Structures are given as structure tokens and as C-alpha cells.
């Protein structure tokens, strides 16, 4: 269900989902740019993308798709890997940064939930629950090794040249492949499995 239906049918739940979702995506993209900057590429910084301002990150078409179909995207943070001395290391760390950022945010939300022990029906409880859930889903989804998702770029950093060439050729069709697999429900068990792994990792870190 798209966010538009949710807005019309349940405005409060829309707010409790839309705001955490927006900032989960922003922190995801910001993490990519920040790690790239720390490794020597200032492209994102020069373009003003190292910012928490939603207008710097929201993609008009991706936002429309999110509202209508419940699947959308933000503007990818531009990274020039030629400015990073170690290409493979840069590819792995920059691509991992968004996923790690989402996992950290999910950990913080679940830690606060366990610390504050809010009731499940309270606004604070729902907000923390949705924020944790959204970040876990984003991290799991981006771990899938299909271009242009982050998982494919992490794989690219480890892969031999022939696999790298295959992934780069696949990237032009990647978006349509992902849409098709989501529509057919093929990615659902994969995302569920990855969410389970992430939740186990976070649970081990919680007090």
C-alpha cells in the first residue's frame, strides 16, 4: 500500500511512518557521502549532499512512487571513486556505509524502546517501533546484490574482474529486475531472511 492511501485512511500512522522513513533514507545517503568524503572524495560535500535537509536528498519521481505504490527512492549521493586511492576498499566501505547507518539507527531505536519501556499503543512506542522496523527493512533490502543496490557494489569490491564486468553490464537493467522481482514476491523471503540476520545481530548488542 502506498503512503497516499495511508495518509487518507490513517493520518496519524502516516506521520509515524513517513517521518522515520524520510530520515532513515536521508541518513542512509548521508552515510555514503560522509564515508566517501573521509576517504578523499569531496563530490557530495561540494554538491551540498552532506546535509540533513530533506530537499537535498528527495527524488521527485521516487517520492511519487513511494506515495502511490509504497516503493520509492532518494537521489543517490554522487561518489567519484577515482578520487579514492584504494578503489576496492572505497567501493566496499562507501557502499556499506548506508546499510551500517540504518543498522545503527535501528539499534538506537530498539535500545531506547527497551530503556524507556513505552506501551505499544503510545506515540513514543509506535514511533520507536516504526523507526527500528523501517531501518531494518532498508538495511536488508540494500544488502541484496542486485545493481544498483548497495549489496551489488559491496560484491563488486570483492569480486574478480569477470564478475565485476557482469555486474556493471547488469546495472542498466537492475531497476527493472528489482521491480519485477518485488512484483512477483520473489524478493520477499530474501528480505525476510536478511531482516532476521540483522535483527539477531542487533539483539546481541542490546543490553
CA–CA separation, 82 and 136 (whole Å):
31
Number of domains, the chain: 1
* Whether the predicted pLDDT of 105 surpasses 90: yes
Active site annotation includes 29? yes
**If you average pLDDT over residues 124-137, what whole number do you get?**
90
Place of cell 539499534: 107
- The pLDDT score that the predictor gives to residue 33 is 96
Place of cell 518485488: 182
- pTM, to two decimals: 0.91
* Whether the predicted pLDDT of 7 surpasses 80: no
Place of cell 537492475: 174
| Phi-psi category of residue 48: left, alpha or beta, with phi > 0 → left and psi -120 to 50 → alpha | left
Choose between 159 and 104: higher pLDDT.
104
At 44, is the secondary structure helix, strand, or coil?
helix
Q: Tens digit of pLDDT for each residue in 9-26? A: 777 777 878 888 889 999
List 29, 79, 126, 130, catalytic entry:
29
Question: Side-chain half-sphere of 133: how many Cα atoms within 13 Å?
Answer: 10
Q: How many CB atoms lie within 10 A of CB 183?
A: 11
Residue 113 belongs to what domain range? 3-205
For all residues of the chain together, what is the average pLDDT? 89
Q: Tens digit of pLDDT for each residue in 61-103? A: 878 777 776 667 788 899 999 999 898 999 999 999 999 999 9
Amino acid at each position: 500500500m502506498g503512503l497516499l492511501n495511508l495518509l487518507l485512511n490513517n493520518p496519524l500512522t502516516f506521520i509515524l511512518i513517513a517521518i522515520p522513513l524520510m530520515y532513515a533514507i536521508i541518513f542512509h545517503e548521508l552515510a555514503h557521502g560522509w564515508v566517501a568524503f573521509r576517504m578523499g572524495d569531496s563530490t557530495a560535500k561540494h554538491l551540498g549532499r552532506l546535509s540533513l535537509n530533506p530537499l537535498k536528498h528527495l527524488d521527485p519521481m521516487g517520492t511519487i512512487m513511494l506515495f502511490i505504490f509504497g516503493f520509492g527512492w532518494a537521489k543517490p549521493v554522487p561518489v567519484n571513486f577515482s578520487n579514492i586511492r584504494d578503489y576496492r576498499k572505497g567501493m566496499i566501505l562507501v557502499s556499506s556505509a548506508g546499510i551500517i547507518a540504518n543498522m545503527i539507527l535501528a539499534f538506537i531505536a530498539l535500545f531506547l524502546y527497551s530503556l524507556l519501556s513505552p506501551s505499544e499503543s503510545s506515540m513514543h512506542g509506535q514511533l520507536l517501533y516504526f523507526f527500528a522496523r523501517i531501518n531494518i527493512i532498508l538495511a536488508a533490502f540494500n544488502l541484496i546484490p542486485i545493481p544498483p543496490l548497495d549489496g551489488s557494489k559491496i560484491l563488486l569490491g570483492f569480486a574478480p574482474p569477470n564478475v565485476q564486468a557482469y555486474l556493471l553490464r547488469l546495472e542498466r537493467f537492475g531497476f527493472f529486475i528489482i521491480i519485477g522481482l518485488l512484483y512477483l514476491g520473489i524478493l520477499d523471503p530474501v528480505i525476510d531472511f536478511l531482516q532476521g540476520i540483522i535483527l539477531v545481530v542487533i539483539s546481541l548488542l542490546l543490553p
